[in-house]
Structure 1
């Protein structure tokens, strides 16, 4: 079990690159310093500065592309942020923001938006107007739904919505043809409707800590999938066509109700790690899996 945790740690420790500034351009740590520089300031880091509101003078920095306001005391998305029309990266992680205004659509150059660890209960429909958005981080909020308009963010590469209260995925999710990472762990998903997984470039799908009893048959459409995490659900059976995920190399199914895996599991020739701890797997099934997956490290 210890080895399993080590594997999981190194395989999936993520680095939130939304917080990383461009090292080729000057980065300022106060508005006054930025304003006195005399140039067209493009990067400002106001992280951990005990701010309760966004300073009014920030609107004078009209060339800002990168703004980090992480870990302050902001309770709202201040209107002066909407004047920063050239913003490409906006980090608001770890504040106490309760809503994002519909005027967010004015920031139409945004590529990365990090609003994780706030007090959001919904994302505005207008999020779909951010057509250049590539990374959306909204983990650890209180979201109950994902707006249908998310499908209009067709440049999205990563969508992180873990640790919310989401119980339904919009049909438009399947429009995100460039999506590579989808994080939905720790939500309230009891089922996933069909036609949500037409995501040809998805490489990583995390669905841990939900209440899934089964997976949709069209999960086989995830032809690029390399990592699938389904720990702590209530799965009793996997679809037989799961074996069509030929690029899958990491499959974690810990703490479900699985007694056996698909009969043609040997077709997963690229599978390197299979985690089955906490399932009622018989000794005969364990032996079968070890024989059919000789290239794979299996944890029972």
Structure 2
């Protein structure tokens, strides 16, 4: 067997045991997770590309837990894969076009797949506590996104396509390696909360002129520079210093 489809698996409503050893499968359909009575799953001797090696290394129980998480998320449109030891962006998300909330926090991701562009219904995306250095330009296709959490990564820059996310209200960038905010960020008029604590900024004044409420954690001198830069007749700005 080289392919096992979700439709094929989904029709086996009384499935208790699924032995797939020594085939040529590269992918297991997430519909396997819909079988609550499934007691035994075996997949030795295949060439699975997904889930990531860390999940597969945990054996059948680990894989079954993961697939059930994915199945539940697909059904409810709220997919929580936080703390799943993922080092690769989940292949399953290529078909997650109806998911509205995605939590991939506390994993080991070093990059985000372009498959994210297929998640056109996404409203909330949490990528906190990974090892991301950058984001793909395709993230700009998530135009319904309201909440984006990129905190506690290694991000140095943001893709310009981020400016096309016209619904984005909250963006968390604290604890990264940002040196300067991109110029396009001042055109994101809908942004209400911007978290920038614990980065490597040397200048946060000129780029932060927009009609929004900012949540920052600048040094006292940076705060003075920011307030002076907006001027007494400048655009409304609330800078709230948060304790780390």
Q: Which has the higher contact order (CA 8 A, sep 6+)?
A: 2
RMSD: 3.3
In structure 1, what is the equivalent of residue 215 of structure 2? 251
* Maintained 8 Å contact 2:34/2:68: no
Q: May I ask how many residue pairs the two structures share in their alignment?
A: 190
Match of 1:75 among 34, 58, 62: 62
Cα distance in 2 for partners of 1:257, 1:164 equals 31
Q: Which one of 110, 123, 136 corresponds to residue 144 of structure 1?
A: 110
Per the alignment, residue 210 of structure 1 pairs with 176
Equivalent in the alignment of 2:190 = 224
- Give the Cα–Cα distance (whole angstroms) in 1 for the partners of residues 221 and 115 of structure 2: 35
Query: Contact 1:58 / 1:80 at 8 angstroms: preserved in 2?
Result: no
Partners in 2 of 1:143 and 1:273 — Cα distance?
Answer: 32
Q: Of residues 227, 230, 233 in structure 2, which corresponds to 1:264?
A: 230
Question: Does the C-alpha gap of structure 1 residues 225 and 77 become closer, same or farther in structure 2, counting only changes over 3 Å?
Answer: farther
Q: Contact 1:199 / 1:221 at 8 angstroms: preserved in 2?
A: no
Deviations 1:186-236 (A, max 9, x none): 001122232333211111100011111011111123221111100000101
* Residue equivalent to 2:44: none
Give, in angstroms, the shift of residue 76 of structure 1. 2.2
SS at match of 2:128: coil
- 1:9-88 maps to which residues of 2 (within 5 A)? 57-58=36-37, 75-77=62-64, 81=68
Q: Please, what TM-score do these two structures have when normalized by structure 1? A: 0.55
Rounded to whole Å, the distance in 1 between the matches of 2:204 and 2:193 is: 16
Q: Deviations over 1:217-265 (max 9, x none)?
A: 1112322111110000010112624212x1x223213469837227125
Give the match for residue 9 of structure 2. Answer: none
Question: Residues 125 and 57 of structure 1: is their aligned pair in 2 closer, same or farther, counting only changes over 3 Å?
Answer: closer
How high is the TM-score relative to the length of structure 2?
0.67
> Of residues 123, 129, 143 in structure 2, which corresponds to 1:157?
123
In structure 2, runs of 5+ residues without a counterpart are 1-13, 15-32, 40-58
Give the number of the structure whose residues are more often helix, by fraction. 2
239 and 76 in structure 1: CA distance in 2 versus 1, 3 angstrom threshold: farther
Relative to structure 1, the CA distance from residue 199 to residue 239 in structure 2 (aligned partners, 3 Å threshold; closer, same or farther) is farther
Which secondary structure does the structure 2 equivalent of 1:76 belong to?
A: helix
Gaps of 5+ in 1: 1-34, 36-53, 61-72, 91-106, 279-300
Match of residue 77 from structure 2: 111
How far apart in 2 are the matches of 1:128 and 1:257? 46
Query: Residues of 2 paired with 1:173 and 1:80: CA distance?
Result: 25
